[in-house]
Amino acid sequence: MPRPEFAAPGPGAWYRDSLHWTSPMTRWLGPVYHLTLRRGLGVSAARYGALEYYDFASVHGVSYASPRWPGVDPSLTTGIDDALRATPADVPARFAAAEHVFADRLWRHDIDRWDTTWKPAQVATLRSLQADDPAGSTDTVLAGHLDRCRRVLLTTMYRHHALNHCCHVAVGDYVRRVREWTGAPTDRLTDLLGGASPASVGARAELASVLAALAADRDAAELLRSDQDAGELLDRLLATGVGGRSHP
């Protein structure tokens, strides 16, 4: 079988997107992923006044990314200086947007939108999907369920990347400023962020329930502090129960 040819999917410089994918994507996922990533990241870049954004494509299922600048032909530029010299019409608009990012603490507005609007809607939609019972469904009903799953995935991936700069800008500004003040290396500064946000760990309600159960069960808490193999420890906790409750 001949080896597949890996040709650049378009003009400009391309690199393998190994940050998100370590193996090829399926033919179904590739277009879905790149569509939502390109759209979400583009919206995020424009909102925060970032000049650089990315185009994405797949070659034989392998994801590739290429940096882009607004209004600049990717075949004619290789760096940010070229983009600035080109001064396309929307670059001043990006600069104007960037002026308001720190003055308005734009990332806080985005976090509030996630907490009060996007996340509740997402949770409600996912619970609705989980309530569906595909077993015994007709082909038409099952196809409708799968279409809903696809649309939810599109929305979820878009929102994830539409919030990229919300995370990057605030953390990047913190690292830059504290490094200037203290001279501390970047890795030490980012270590300070580990576990700083309850939202970062996810499943907050579930974790709170586990912590409450352990606090009420001294034997289970002592067991967790032991040197017992993690798998055996979990099996024992599930068998004996935490807080007097056993689990199947």
Q: Residue ranges of the domains in the chain? A: 1-102, 203-248
Q: What is the pLDDT of residue 199?
A: 65
Which structure tokens are listed for 97?
């947007």
CA distance 178 to 173: 8
| 3-state secondary structure (DSSP) of residue 69 | coil
Non-local CB neighbours of 173 within 8 Å, separated by 6+ positions: 102
d(CA 131, CA 68): 42
What pLDDT score was predicted for residue 94? Answer: 85
pLDDT at 181: 94
What's the confidence (pLDDT) of residue 205? 76
Q: pLDDT 10s digit of each residue in the chain, 248 long?
A: 678 788 888 888 888 988 888 899 998 888 888 889 888 988 898 899 888 778 888 898 999 988 877 666 666 655 555 555 545 667 788 888 999 999 999 999 999 999 899 999 999 999 999 998 888 889 999 999 999 999 999 999 999 999 999 989 989 999 999 999 999 999 999 888 876 666 666 667 777 888 888 888 888 888 888 888 888 888 888 887 665 554 44
What's residue 86's pLDDT? 46
Please report the sign of the dihedral spanned by the C-alpha atoms of residue 11, residue 14, residue 19, residue 23.
positive
Do the beta carbons of residue 67 and residue 101 sit within 8 Å?
Answer: no
Query: For position 71, what pLDDT does the model report?
Result: 67
Contacts of 240 (CB under 8 A, 6+ apart): 220, 246
Whether residue 63 contacts residue 31, with contact meaning beta carbons closer than 8 Å, is answered with no
Q: What is the DSSP letter of 6?
A: -
Q: Is 242 in contact with 219 (CB distance < 8 Å)?
A: no
Q: From start to end of the chain, where are the E strands?
A: 15-16, 53-59, 62-68
- Three-state DSSP at 44 gives helix
Q: How much is the pLDDT for 85?
A: 52
The CB-based long-range contact list for 149-156 (8 Å cut-off, 24+ gap) reads 150/32, 152/125, 152/126, 153/32, 154/32, 154/35, 154/36, 155/122, 156/122
Q: What is the rounded distance in angstroms from the CA atom of residue 41 to the CA atom of residue 111? A: 16
